[in-house]
Structure 1
């Protein structure tokens, strides 16, 4: 999301609990679908696809959702399967995003949803 110009605070909120965010019906359906596909892929049925259609997603959109979800799951499994660790630049990048999100949360007067890098403790 950050690479696509997403708000740093929204990124942290999605990571923490996307169900607590103000989302459109379509966004909620997409995230619910992606979560189910990630956690319990064998339980997916045509009814799950129909929920996306009912929320306004086209069949092309649904294919894109599946491709993006599958791609990220593939990446995670390759990294985990090889026992790779995050590089220092990746940690720094995540920390910088969390720092920006913490500033946005403070400016907007909303709680920071998560603090995986202990950004608030460092400052």
Structure 2
């Protein structure tokens, strides 16, 4: 697999050429590219290690593609934006901020969360989710049974509560991989979800 520098994707990580991807990875990337209109840089930045790419994407999809009344797909993206902002991860804030704008249908929410989640336009349930998620992200040793109970009291099931913790933990890893490789957000992410789509 030929690896090379591509500062538009990652400033420190070596990335492979698309034609060198294993077939299953190339097929998945083609699906996402066709749906999005571009290839998110994370796909290329992680693909130099195919086994880890598969595990990374499987974990991501398992956590982020669920939609329950207690923890919607939009809520999941809000967790990513708020905790990634606390970790100063530009890639994840920008990329998942775009998805959060689309899923919440709120063009302001991602910027609000990234600057100060306490002042963001969240409902009471979401405020509890984000507060507990940020606590786990920043001061994990201080998390108590009471924090999980607050989530249940806000309407989350035990599975939802587990998902909150798993999303925070997974994106803590993702944030650090993005920092380590100098991963850059695609320019397309910056504009997504800020204005209504033209029909």
Aligned to 2:190: 95
Aligned to 1:38: 137
For residues 78 and 43 of structure 1, the distance between their equivalents in structure 2, rounded to whole angstroms, comes to 25
Taking structure 2 as the reference length, the TM-score comes to 0.43
Aligned to 2:177: 78
- Displacement over 3 Å in runs of 4+: none
CA 1:31–1:63 in 2, change beyond 3 Å: closer, same or farther? same
- Tell me if structure 1 keeps the 8 A contact 2:133–2:168: yes
Question: How many residues in Structure 1 have an aligned counterpart in Structure 2?
Answer: 97
For residues 15 and 93 of structure 1, the distance between their equivalents in structure 2, rounded to whole angstroms, comes to 18
Correspondence 1:98-113 to 2 at 5 A: 101=194
For residues 70 and 15 of structure 1, the distance between their equivalents in structure 2, rounded to whole angstroms, comes to 18
Return the structure number with greater strand share.
Answer: 2
Return the structure number with greater helix share.
Answer: 1
Runs (5+) with no aligned partner, structure 2? 1-76, 78-97
Aligned to 1:56: 155
Aligned to 1:116: none
Q: Which has the higher contact order (CA 8 A, sep 6+)?
A: 1
Runs (5+) with no aligned partner, structure 1? 105-123
Aligned to 1:69: 168
For residues 159 and 136 of structure 2, the distance between their equivalents in structure 1, rounded to whole angstroms, comes to 17
For residues 125 and 190 of structure 2, the distance between their equivalents in structure 1, rounded to whole angstroms, comes to 30
For residues 154 and 99 of structure 2, the distance between their equivalents in structure 1, rounded to whole angstroms, comes to 26
- Tell me if structure 1 keeps the 8 A contact 2:132–2:147: yes
SS of the residue corresponding to residue 76 of structure 1 reads: helix
